[in-house]
Amino acid sequence: MEKLNHPNIVRIYKVLAIEKTTSYIVMELVEGCNLSYRLAFDRQLKEREAKYILFSVLSALEYLSRKLVGIAICPSNVLIGDDGCVKLIGLEDAKIPN
């Protein structure tokens, strides 16, 4: 996952396989909440914030479209940091062609 470098994608530093069924992922810390949580409590986002989130996710997806095969995006995989940053998570199982 070191190959992915985009401001709207959470950085994965290391994936540790402890046992056959247990893995640990060391990744960038984003303090805030995910989009699902945000929509559950703020039923409507302000137009400016919604556009910013949309364009941030689209920017990351455009970058990923050149790097990955197969990725699932859902609101719980979109993090919104307390500082306003928008980052995608859940890419640790994505396939990166060589």
Task: Give the side-chain half-sphere CA count within 13 A for 29.
Answer: 1
pLDDT of residue 71: 72
pLDDT of residue 57: 94
Q: Tell me the whole-structure pTM to 2 decimals.
A: 0.80
- Least Cα distance to 1 among 96, 98, 74 occurs for 96
Distance of alpha carbon 12 from alpha carbon 55, whole angstroms? 22
Q: What is the pLDDT along the chain (98 residues), one digit of tens a residue?
A: 447 889 999 988 887 877 777 778 888 999 999 999 998 987 778 899 999 999 999 999 998 888 775 677 889 999 999 999 999 987 655 655 55
Distance of alpha carbon 3 from alpha carbon 71, whole angstroms? 16
Cβ-proximal residues to 58 (8 Å cutoff; 6+ apart), any chain: none
